[in-house]
Amino acid sequence: MSHNMTTNRRYRVKVRFKVRKRGLGLAGAVALAVFLSVSAVYGVRIAWDWVSPRFSRGLVKFKLERAVVEVPAKSVETWIASHLSSRRGEEWTSADRDRFLERVEKRYPYLSEPKLSRNFLTGSLRFRAGVETVVAPVTRAGASCYLGESGRLFPEIYPEAVPGGISAALPASPDAFPDAARFLSRLNALSGLFDSRPVSLSCPSAEGPCKLALSDGSEVLWGGFEFTRAKILRLNEILERSAARLKGPYKVDLRYFEDGRAVVSASAR
């Protein structure tokens, strides 16, 4: 009997303090997780109660409360902001957004990447767009327009736009002139290199050579639009040498510049 009692005491399992403490910590973590879950559900419910009036038949309804317009052209920004403000308190659907963007793009074709975003929680509508740089005023088929850096033509431009100092005459077709736009942009950037500044560029046809008129009355058959800087420097040399033996203004042919040839003569004028 005594021996059995001793054996039982020897193998009795006791719950130590550290084990009990670990169990309490686990229970606390579980309780905290439950509390956070309940709080999250409650928060979602509050948000839903706030947002739900904007839902009808399962479709989100956006009500315009505030408009933010970001366009680097004050005149355009003012018109768009005024138009959006006049519709404050109205509902805007995706169709309304698309119609508005279409109207803006038609009114201001020189806007680049116009975007209209809506914040359904705050009722805020944000319009963002860039503006295309205008490289030259253009005469085309007897009408005046403006050439953008992309080669697109615009019937009018925003007042803040400052076209390049070189005007251009372009043919009736095609509808866009990306090569001429890049060339004119380059000419504007390098105009300070000319001894006699460029005034206008005339391209009578899409295939034919373009003629560059200079401020001293000289005319240059430019040829291809490549090697712009090198051609300008070569033109300066030609005009300087010609002044010693010919009376200006001059006609210079740079169409064969790549072959190392250039022809100069006195203008008939």
106 and 143, same domain (yes or no): no
Where residue 111 falls among pLDDT bands split at 50, 70, 90? very high
> What's 258's DSSP letter?
G
Where residue 11 falls among pLDDT bands split at 50, 70, 90? very low
244 and 138, same domain (yes or no): yes
Which of 51-65, 123-137, 151-165, 221-235 is predicted least confidently? 51-65
Domain count, the chain: 3
22 and 96, same domain (yes or no): no
pLDDT higher than threshold 80 for residue 32 = no
- CATH number of the domain to which 83 belongs: 3.10.20.310
Please state the rounded mean pLDDT for residues 196-209: 89
pLDDT of 165 reads: 80
pLDDT of 45 reads: 60
Which of 3-17, 47-61, 192-206, 216-230 is predicted least confidently? 3-17
Q: How far apart are CA 201 and CA 210, in angstroms?
A: 7
DSSP codes joined into one string, 230-257: HHHHHHHHHHHHHTTTS-SSEEEE-TTG
Where is the domain boundary, 105, 131, 157? 131
30 and 109, same domain (yes or no): no
Closest-CA residue to 169 (of 187, 148, 143, 150)? 143
Residue with tokens 């085309």: 140
148 and 193, same domain (yes or no): yes
DSSP strand E in 120-269: where?
Answer: 124-131, 134-140, 143-148, 153-154, 167-170, 198-202, 211-214, 219-221, 250-253, 263-266
149 and 255, same domain (yes or no): yes
State the pTM of this model. Answer: 0.69
Q: How far apart are CA 248 and CA 264, in angstroms?
A: 11
Which of 86-90, 150-154, 190-194 is predicted least confidently? 86-90
C-alpha pair distances (Å), 47 with each of 34, 54, 92, 202, 250 = 20, 12, 21, 64, 77
Does residue 112 contact residue 130 with C-beta atoms inside 8 Å?
Answer: yes
pLDDT higher than threshold 80 for residue 8 = no
234 and 181, same domain (yes or no): yes
Tens-place pLDDT, residues 69-93 = 999 989 899 999 999 999 898 888 8
pLDDT of 56 reads: 42
pLDDT top residue among 33 and 191: 191
- Phi and psi at 265, nearest 5°, equal -150, 165
Where is the domain boundary, 53, 69, 90? 53
37 and 69, same domain (yes or no): no
30 and 108, same domain (yes or no): no
- CATH number of the domain to which 155 belongs: 3.40.50
Domain hosting 76: range is: 61-131
Where is the domain boundary, 131, 157, 192? 131
Most confident of 119-123, 134-138, 157-161: 134-138
Please state the rounded mean pLDDT for residues 198-210: 88
89 and 116, same domain (yes or no): yes
177 and 148, same domain (yes or no): yes
Other Cβ atoms closer than 10 A to 76: 21
69 and 161, same domain (yes or no): no
